[in-house]
Chains A and B, each alone.
Chain A
Amino acid sequence: MTVGLNAFLIVAGLLFAVGLLGVTLRQNTLVIYMSLELMLNAVNLAFVAFSRYNGTMDGNLFVFFIITVAAAEVALGLAIIVALFRRRQSVMVDQLNALSH
């Protein structure tokens, strides 16, 4: 394969930017959350790319842990969103502004 490390990093960076766009642009809490997962995913890709091109295993192991933590975090975050929906009857961010003055 002649594709260099930089190409993989460009892909990862673009994925990250898309995820950022989703976080800032969307109003639906669940879509925002999915965009956050997309950002994590982009980071995973970058880690694996570095790991392969440097010839070490540490990057892969770190991705392993990232996936673990992300799974736990998703479970808990979604539970919180469900609880929030029960209170507020809405998941739209512009309606979740009780802390604003």
Chain B
Amino acid sequence: MTDAQILLAALLTPLLSAVLIACFLRCRGTLASYVSVAAAAAICAFSYLAIQACEAGPVRAAVDWLQFGNFTVSMGFLFDGEAATMLAMVAFVGLLIHIFSLGYMSEDKSKGRFFAGLSIFMFSMVGIILADNLIMIFVFWELVGFSSYMLIGHYLDTDEAAAASKKAFIVNRIGDLGFLVGIVYAYWHFGTTNLEAMGAAVNADPSLISWVIAALLMCGFIGKSAQFPLHVWLPDAMAGPTPVSALIHAATMVAAGVYFLIRITFLFPESVLGGIAILGTSVAVYAGFCAYGQNDIKKILAYSTLSQLGYMSAAFGLGYPGVALFHLITHAFFKALLFLGAGSIIHGCHHEQDIFKMGGMLKKMPITSITFFIGVLALCGFGIAGVGFAGYYSKDAILIGSLVKENTLIFALLLGGAFLTAGYMGRLFWIAFLGQPKSEAAENAHESPLTMLIPLVALAVLSVAGGVLDLWPQGLGENIKAGMKHLHHADTDHAAAHTVHLWAMVAWIVGLVGSFFFYGVGKNGDALQNRAKPVYEFLKARLWFDEIYGFYVAKIQQRVAVLLSFLDIFLIKGLFVRGSAGLVGLVGACSRSLVVGNIHGYVYWFLAGILLLWALAAGVAL
């Protein structure tokens, strides 16, 4: 098999699985789940083969799909180092989550639909990773949005899930508007949408970089990766099943935005990069604060995801795309672990999600708790003196980057974010896992089955060891290694590295210990809520973004929509459609009046015709 065929197989296997399930296996949920897991395993196998092939050099393949005049839309693969890294992560984490879903969704009635959605999602995600031009990325971007919509709304009978899925899709579409305009403008500017061609053009002539294109393409990233101001859909998306939250809204889809940015790094001028950095930092801090006002375990993890996405975009904005990719990968590992652990807990407590109703999970579900704690430590950047879990390496690299660029404000804010992260994760862990069970459900919790534990353990191992780049297999992470090397070279006397390591260590220690004492172990209620209610309420309000948007849509946009609808009914339906029909009817009636049954009438019409012909012949201008 040639390299391109391997990639094609990796792309099409999940599509095949989805079609199979949708057509035949919708009612046979168990069989559907096995098909889907088999597809995920196949993706893993194919991507392994492809990565082997990629060591020689990037794999390129393209086929012309549509042709309009001299504008062709082609579908092709560009499988280089960053694509290989991303594909490896998506395939492996995806496979683990598929296995987890076998156990988690075992009692669900619509398993078939769920696994079809997972397969379609894997297809779309692999498409984004492998795509070589902007239009193909856009096509798969929308497909990913659709799969997200389908999977968030999996629990059809709850209003909350339906509303959340709509919100996710619509907010994404708002971002995609800018994306689409950006693609069109990029085509007009460069004459092509192929990534490599654009890169070559920019290398040859740096004046071609336009901040407008960068800003427009960034809109797609803002929508998909939940930056300001389009971040509102991510917490609501937790209404979907937990494996969905793990796969889509933690590890892969939201990271697709960052991956896309990394793909088009060459298009960004300094000004836009600065804007991205500021955007990322602000959302990192904002989400950190918001997490303190949440009691639902999945919502806390969602805000944590928002915060870490902010870190990734800050890294990108500071000019280190390799570091951003690094954090993306490590974040995928430990965030997936956290979400799957939360899923395990929720499954064990029979779908109880409030942390104040859990408690004592450490005794009831030991393996889950230990792996969850490993995830917490990885997220907080646990590490001492140069060795640590995965988050330690990537997060500290971002902080080092901010110092090296002499951006003390960003450094301070990101460090504050690290404090906050440790704080709320500690709050989560101490309350939910230690102490005594606080409800019936928690009392009866028992350890999850093996299909749910194996992925947890696998991800825990990755969270521990994934940060050590030397352990990564050959061929993966070349970009990352290059980026880290670049960073270390910029940090000439390692002063920044030392400062960061010191302060980061202080951050996670203070955060974890502080939350231990402040929130207590296994308390009934939120300590902040009890002691400083206004602060708690303010944090819970999350800066009223949802309320502002709701007001705008209901009051302002709705009025415009009503006006447009009136115009539509009046102008288009009334005037144009009915009017043209009436005009035709009028012509018909006039023609009908010619056909009188009366012979004398016909004679008069003859005379009129003759006069007309006479006038024409005489040259009377008509």
What separation, in Å, do the CA atoms of A99 and B604 have in the docked complex? 17
A96 near B600 with CB under 8 A, answer no
B599 near A32 with CB under 8 A, answer yes
Q: Per-residue CB proximity of A62-101 to B under 8 Å, as 1/0?
A: 0000000000000000000000000000000110111111
The answer to the question of A40 belonging to the interface, with a C-beta cut-off of 8 Å to chain B, is no
Q: Which residues of A contact B599 (CB under 8 A)?
A: 29, 32, 93, 96
Which residues of chain A (1-30) have a CB below 8 Å from chain B? 23-24, 29
Q: How far is the CB of A45 from chain B (nearest CB, A)?
A: 20
| Majority secondary structure of chain B interface residues (helix, strand, loop or mixed) | helix
The answer to the question of B530 belonging to the interface, with a C-beta cut-off of 8 Å to chain A, is no
Q: Per-residue CB proximity of A28-55 to B under 8 Å, as 1/0?
A: 0100100000000000000000000000
Q: How far is the CB of B596 from chain A (nearest CB, A)?
A: 5
Which residues of chain B (252-291) have a CB below 8 Å from chain A? none
The answer to the question of B592 belonging to the interface, with a C-beta cut-off of 8 Å to chain A, is yes
B597 near A23 with CB under 8 A, answer no
The answer to the question of B409 belonging to the interface, with a C-beta cut-off of 8 Å to chain A, is no
**Size of the chain B interface, CB-CB below 8 angstroms:** 9
Q: How far is the CB of B602 from chain A (nearest CB, A)?
A: 10
Q: Which residues of A contact B592 (CB under 8 A)?
A: 101
B595 near A93 with CB under 8 A, answer no
Q: Which residues of B contact A32 (CB under 8 A)?
A: 599
A93 near B600 with CB under 8 A, answer yes
What separation, in Å, do the CA atoms of A44 and B519 have in the docked complex? 122
How many of chain A's residues touch chain B, expressed as a range? Answer: 10 to 19
B600 near A24 with CB under 8 A, answer yes
A24 near B603 with CB under 8 A, answer yes
B597 near A96 with CB under 8 A, answer yes
What separation, in Å, do the CA atoms of A29 and B603 have in the docked complex? 13
The answer to the question of B591 belonging to the interface, with a C-beta cut-off of 8 Å to chain A, is no
Q: Which residues of B contact A99 (CB under 8 A)?
A: 595, 597
B598 near A93 with CB under 8 A, answer yes
What separation, in Å, do the CA atoms of A23 and B592 have in the docked complex? 23
B600 near A97 with CB under 8 A, answer no
Q: Per-residue CB proximity of B65-104 to A under 8 Å, as 1/0?
A: 0000000000000000000000000000000000000000
- From A23, A29, A100, contact of B598 by CB (8 A): A100
Q: Which residues of A contact B603 (CB under 8 A)?
A: 23-24
Q: Can you give 21 A-B contacts (C-beta < 8 A)? A: A23-B603, A24-B600, A24-B603, A24-B604, A29-B599, A32-B599, A93-B598, A94-B598, A96-B597, A96-B599, A97-B596, A97-B597, A97-B598, A98-B597, A99-B595, A99-B597, A100-B595, A100-B598, A101-B592, A101-B595, A101-B597
Taking Cβ atoms with an 8 Å cutoff, the residues of B that contact A are 592, 595-600, 603-604
The 9 closest A-B pairs by CB, nearest first: A100-B597, A97-B597, A99-B597, A93-B599, A100-B596, A24-B603, A97-B598, A23-B603, A24-B600
Interface contacts beyond A24-B604, A29-B599, A100-B598: sample of 9 additional A-B pairs, CB < 8 Å, sorted by A: A23-B603, A24-B603, A93-B598, A93-B600, A99-B595, A99-B597, A100-B595, A100-B597, A101-B595
